[in-house]
């Protein structure tokens, strides 16, 4: 058992529900997959590369986790995966959009390929998966969609214009979708992490002092630190996601939950 906000979460909380998690092969996506499984869900783990998701399938067994290799930027591939999931596992009750890419560069140096790929995954990919899920969920008048965005969507970051803009687009898309689907009972929310200990985050660290600078802040890049004094663990983000897809959040939709230790000083 685990706890969020003093509420004991039973292992059976999501029992019988089918979830699709994109970017499930590592980092936050893997943590979300594990958290959903721990609460009783059957998870279709989707990633562009098979290694991580195949490991999850082998660890939990194909009755609990199934691996699906596809690029969320490919609409046809996404539809095929969702069709297969519903045919083999059952009606999709939960979608968690985690798949994302980060390419850092000053705007004047960003290539067209870098810009286009960032939006293809971080924004258009969310559109592809959410559209496929929403069509089915709205007909059944039940379901939850959570998009993992970023606190960079709400605060300018140097050398992160493509990433921040793509996450801002995904955030607003998810809120608009939530408004359109509200009358059908389908809820759509966003979880916006700050610095989280993942391969993506570690790829930004040039030396051993980098984590300290993240926590303390960097005036040279106009970036404040993390008031709580720690970098998030992927499980911190996964706990927020699992709360939002649970019945404990049944009256929450179009919400953007920041999980950043206070780094954005958000009102």
Positions marked catalytic: 163
Q: Say if CB 192 and CB 171 are below 8 A apart.
A: yes
Picking from 203, 191, 260, the residue whose alpha carbon sits closest to that of residue 32 is: 191
Task: Specify the DSSP class assigned to residue 233.
Answer: P
Structure tokens at 67: 């691996």
């Amino acid at each position: 058992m685990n706890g969020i906000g003093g509420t004991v979460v039973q292992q059976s909380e999501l029992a019988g529900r089918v979830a699709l998690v994109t970017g499930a092969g590592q980092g936050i996506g893997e943590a979300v997959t594990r958290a959903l499984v721990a609460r009783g869900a059957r998870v279709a783990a989707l990633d562009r590369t098979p290694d991580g998701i195949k490991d999850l399938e082998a660890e939990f067994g194909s009755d609990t986790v199934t691996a699906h290799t596809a690029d969320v930027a490919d609409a046809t591939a996404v539809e095929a995966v969702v069709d297969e999931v519903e045919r083999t596992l059952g009606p999709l009750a939960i979608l968690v959009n985690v798949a994302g890419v980060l390419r850092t560069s000053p705007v004047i140096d960003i290539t067209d390929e870098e810009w286009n790929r960032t939006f293809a995954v971080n924004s258009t990919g969310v559109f592809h998966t959410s559209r496929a899920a929403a069509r089915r969920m709205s007909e059944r008048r039940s379901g939850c969609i959570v998009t993992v965005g970023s606190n960079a969507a709400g605060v300018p970051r140097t050398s992160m214009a493509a990433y921040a803009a793509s996450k801002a687009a995904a955030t607003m898309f998810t809120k608009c979708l939530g408004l359109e689907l509200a009358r059908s009972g389908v809820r759509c929310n966003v979880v916006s992490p700050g610095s989280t200990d993942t391969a993506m985050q570690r790829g930004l660290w040039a030396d051993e002092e980098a984590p300290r600078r993240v926590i303390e802040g960097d005036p040279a890049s106009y970036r404040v630190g993390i008031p709580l004094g720690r970098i998030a663990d992927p499980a911190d983000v996964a706990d927020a996601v699992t709360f939002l897809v649970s019945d404990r959040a049944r009256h929450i939709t179009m919400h953007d939950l920041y999980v950043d230790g206070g780094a954005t000083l958000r009102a």
